[in-house]
Amino acid sequence: MTDNVSLLDPKFAVQVLSKTERPNLLCYLAMHQDYSEDFVGNEFEKLSAYSEQELGERIVRNCVNKNHWGILEHPSISFNVINFPHSVMVQARTHRVGITFDCQSQRYTSQRILRLANQLNESSENHNQLIEEVFYFRGVGNYFDREGNKYFYSDSARNNDILFTKKAIEHYADKVNCKGYSPEHARDILTQNIRQHFVVSFNARSLLHFCDLRLPKDAQPEIRNLGVLLLNHFEEWMPEVAAFYVKKRLGKNLLAP
């Protein structure tokens, strides 16, 4: 994609789990039914002979370019979102229309935190590296808030944040292992930057709406990273629609029609 957004963390990843195999054909059939006297199922074999590129160009020209996006609600795509912090999952889940989420439970996946606590207790390795496998920290550098105020995140500040998280991990393990707390009670003291995997399904329109809201430059950097990875997959899946989107809407703070 043309928007130059570097990944903040090499562990961030998005994997396609499932997708409509011929999304442009499905959109074209929906578009064609709007003005066809017959039912389009009768024309399925004939229209299937057209390439996805040709059908994609037609739906962009006749519908998408005119802000008639209803046809984009028919094809769907599902992703596994991997290693993003809990805060990104919370933001992403505010988008509900045309989107479905299943998120990794902090109640049933507590063993990874307990294993980390044991590693920190037993290992002489770099503790920061071990902690960053399970918790996310921004890199050292210059940042700005939503009002445009700039600040520098220093190496010492980052190390202090890792140390703070380390204490939370140790406290969590003590509550679960030694005091008998349930994981859902003990997790209250964990930091928001714990990595949390989730599965999310979009229809094509809802995915572009997500990008409209989460790819402008004033969005939080981590969720912009998620938007970039999602849009990269969308470009492979529906390239003609994606090309229109990148040219006309990407990062322009527009709301999807």
Q: How many domains are there within the chain?
A: 2
Let me know if residue 257 belongs to a domain: no
Dist CA 233 CA 238 (whole Å):
9
Let me know if residue 1 belongs to a domain: no
Let me know if residue 3 belongs to a domain: no
Q: One-letter amino acid identity for 210?
A: F
Residue 6 predicted with pLDDT over 90: no
Q: How many other C-beta atoms can be found within 10 angstroms of the C-beta atom of residue 36?
A: 12
Residues 97 and 200 in one domain: yes
Residues 177-220: pLDDT tens digits? Answer: 999 999 999 999 999 999 999 999 999 999 999 999 999 988 89
Residues 173 and 217 in one domain: no
Residues 20 and 94 in one domain: yes
Residues 95 and 118 in one domain: no
Let me know if residue 2 belongs to a domain: no
At CB < 8 A and 24+ separation, what contacts does 157-163 make? 159/128, 161/137, 162/127, 162/128, 162/131, 162/132, 162/135, 162/137
Let me know if residue 253 belongs to a domain: no
pLDDT band at 256 (very low <50, low <70, confident <90, very high): low
**pLDDT at 23 (0 to 100):** 98
Listed residues 166, 189, 212: the one ending a domain: 189
Listed residues 154, 189, 224: the one ending a domain: 189
Residues 19 and 91 in one domain: yes
State residue 85 phi and psi, 5-degree precision. -70, 155
Residues 60 and 181 in one domain: no
**pLDDT at 4 (0 to 100):** 52
**pLDDT at 107 (0 to 100):** 87
Give the C-alpha distances (Å, rounded to integers) separating 59 from 13, 26, 43, 205, 219.
Answer: 30, 10, 17, 13, 30
Residues counted in the chain: 257
Let me know if residue 133 belongs to a domain: yes
Let me know if residue 120 belongs to a domain: yes
Task: Tokens for 188, please give them.
Answer: 């209250």
> What percentage of the chain has pLDDT greater than the value 70?
98
Residues 219 and 180 in one domain: no
Residues 19 and 99 in one domain: yes
Residues 31-70: pLDDT tens digits? Answer: 999 988 899 999 999 999 999 999 999 999 999 999 999 9
Let me know if residue 7 belongs to a domain: no
Listed residues 165, 189, 213: the one ending a domain: 189
Q: For all residues of the chain together, what is the average pLDDT? A: 93
Mean pLDDT of 226-239: 98
**Where residue 233 sits, what CATH number does that domain have?**
3.30.1360.170
Name the residue range of residue 243's domain. Answer: 13-103+196-248
Residues 6+ apart with CB under 8 A from 115: none
Residues 17 and 93 in one domain: yes
Residues 139-152: pLDDT tens digits? Answer: 999 998 878 899 99
* DSSP state, residue 174: H
pLDDT band at 123 (very low <50, low <70, confident <90, very high): confident
Dist CA 220 CA 90 (whole Å):
12
